[in-house]
A and B are shown apart, each in its own frame.
Chain A
Amino acid sequence: MSLALHPTSKAFKANARAALKNETLQRAMGHLGFAQKRLEAVGRLPEFEALRDQARDIKNHTLQHLDFYLEHYEEKLRQSGGEVHWCRTPEEARQAILSICRSVGARTITKGKTMVAEEIALNPFLEANGVAPVETDLGEYIIQLRDEPPSHIIAPAIHVTKEQVADTFLEKHAAYGKTKLLSEPREMLEEARGILREKFLGADVGLTGANFLIAETGSSIIVTNEGNGDLTQLLPRVHIVLATPEKMVPTLEDVSTILRLLARSATGQEFSVYTTVSTGPKRPQDIDGPEQYHVVILDNGRTAMLGTAFQDMLRCIRCSACLNHCPVYNAIGGHAYGWVYPGPMGSVLTPGLIGVDQAGALPNASTFCGKCESVCPMKIPLPGMMRHWREREYEQRLSPPAQRWGLAAWAFAAKRPRLYRLLTGLAARVLGLWGRRHGNMHNLPLAGGWTQFRDFPAPEGKTFHQLWSERGQR
């Protein structure tokens, strides 16, 4: 199942409602411990705040001179024997990857974790074209078996319970002669590893994402915790990196600054277990490595965000801190957002990539509590940009009519203080009398959204301004 092929962002409200009622999902989401771990990790690093400023400045500088750095990167990469494939659309990227696979007669392709591959719905495409994709990240592997999209950008199977994983393995691993229902995560990991090991050895092409591209050296970097990325890119004859232009960083030193923030913000680790730098194919003196090294750089609307109100979003390093800390994401999980990227970063990015007419509900589903911005290592003003999307939506008259009329009526009164006083005086009196007995109202016309779950506290009976003028203006 690919959300990129079948977006359901338009049905966000219904999705969210279903997610709240889904007890299995709620159980799986119940112990997302990343936020607490991040807090502890940040507490141990006094310069964390200063690093955030530095990281923001590095990316802002890079984005300002992105063309220069991209060209420099390509030149360096060529020198090391690699090749860049520039792609504007998902279709171009899919074709570029397929033609590389075909050129070496590939039948299987191992994959490290990459959200960009989700964005271009790569797996179903490869399958349809006779190339079998094998996910090697454990979480990705689980959801591949279950035919589900990822629900989190670094923990793709966070919505799946341990018991569900056991059932899935029992069903799908029977083909490999594994027929025991497992109960311990350790055993499940071992079983998956055993099966994956064979696949690593048989793959013709290995595809990874990139956390960073380094202009100075023409390198790409991935950070992982399982080491699957290393096997994916070292064992097959061909290594394809699937990246996007905003992954660019000028120098290795810049990367080390940002890396100090990445794992701490993501999982609360000081550093991820593996940080792997690749620069070109295997050289004569290397003992291992791929014969071919390709970097597919997909734009898919990103450079069009440069110079707009949404440019800051291109600083995102996909750490997932904003998801982990978002009360809305934590309540409904990732699938409800209906496209590839969930949570606050998805609520800003998705309308940019698939259109605000499709994904307008996402930037609306925020209380603007500001928690995401406060933890974002790249200091991306996420709520501010969600508001910009609401502005676009309002300008294009896409917001729901009831909401627009309500707003228009409010604005009409709010601009006429005398009328406003008259109305509020009346409302305070009527509602005050109505709710006097209980101190609140159980039902209120036009306020079903409120009173469905909450009582409406009764007003005291007169407005402040009435009482203030009665007391004699001071």
Chain B
Amino acid sequence: MSDMKRLAQLMGELEEQLVVCMRCGMCQAVCPLFAVTGKESDVARGKLALLDGLLNKMFENPKGVYERLNKCLLCGSCATNCPSGVKALEIFIKARVILAGFMGLSATKKIILRGMLSHPEVFDRLLEWGSKFQGLFTKPASDILGTSCSRIASPILNERHFVPLAKVPFHRIVPSMNTPAGSSGIKVAFFTGCLIDKIYPNVAQAVLDIFSFHGIGVFIPEGQGCCGIPAISSGDAESFEKLLLYNIEKYSSADFDYLVTACATCTSTIKKIWPLMVNTGSSDDLKSKVEKISGKTLDINQFLVSKIGVKSQDEEKTSKNNDDAVKVTYHDPCHLKKSLGVSDEPRMLIKANKGYSFIEMPEADWCCGMGGSFNLQYYEISADIGKRKIKNVKTAGAGVVATGCPACMIQISDMLSKADERIAVKHPVEIYAESLKKG
């Protein structure tokens, strides 16, 4: 019992944020998880009540609460739509840190997070081995999507049609880069991110093509690390801090105008989570470095539209009357729209390519169900949420679905491939880059 008192004390840090929730229940309307399960502990109101319960020492042990807290996509739909302004996402992440610290990380998570992720060289090497051997275990499932389903039964792969690891990760193609600003007068640092590096190097390549077309100088440090979201969302503040320091070090060595990423999740982590989590007990020097970097961080779509001035093609003249145009729709990643308020820019970027005609899908900003490790832990629910997305994609009747986050790309590819849909998944920068090649 004295343990629970100690925990209540730790939770005290969240009290002022927790009391803001008035239990109106309006978050039920937007929670993708609750829409599938109908269970109160899955929606923000329930989770907040559970954290309140820890604060008020209602539990003999925190296990049940911890489990339910972790069953969450961290999509932020609740926080964005909460009329009372409850910062649910922030609360959930902080509570995960408190609880993981209190209860200890699971052994698997420790190996993955502490042993691999927080040592970028080890992580890179392991995944490279993985990419060499994966052909043995998987067979091509869908040539359009480029997904594979597992050839042999594997507990992690089970029903997944996952997009395979790239044969050569981006950091092997372009280990580092440092070019001066060209005609645009702008120089950016590019943060590749793990998924783009290891699964979608073609997206990174498209970004570089665009940068070179617009005369933008690029800085890519050698051996960049993970943004830290897998660590912090598992409550592993230690690994997170390591990665943070590592990255800050890498990016503080050069001068650039903006830090740009093509991964919605990395962008929102750097912009929102870095400053949030660095606040507790870090040195002023680190704080100011983090502030400086996250202040300069921009999503690639936003950067291209707002800083470079990329514009949509005039709809009248092009796509609408062009029968050859490829129909494309767009899925809003939670980490772009809900976390950063970026939703017009990727659409504008897509519309900048005359070869495509844009169709809005219903519920474009309904979460795809990926949620990082949520997908690994709750694959069935994740797939149920994903099916709703696929239904909406199909309603749009497009041949391509674009989205600004590699994690969403993986999930949507998996879902489309399993449903045998011949619809391709692309990043808006790929679509825009195609238009530059055509001249």
User: Do A and B make up one complex?
Assistant: no
* Chain B residues within 8 Å of A, Cβ to Cβ: none
* Chain A residues within 8 Å of B, Cβ to Cβ: none
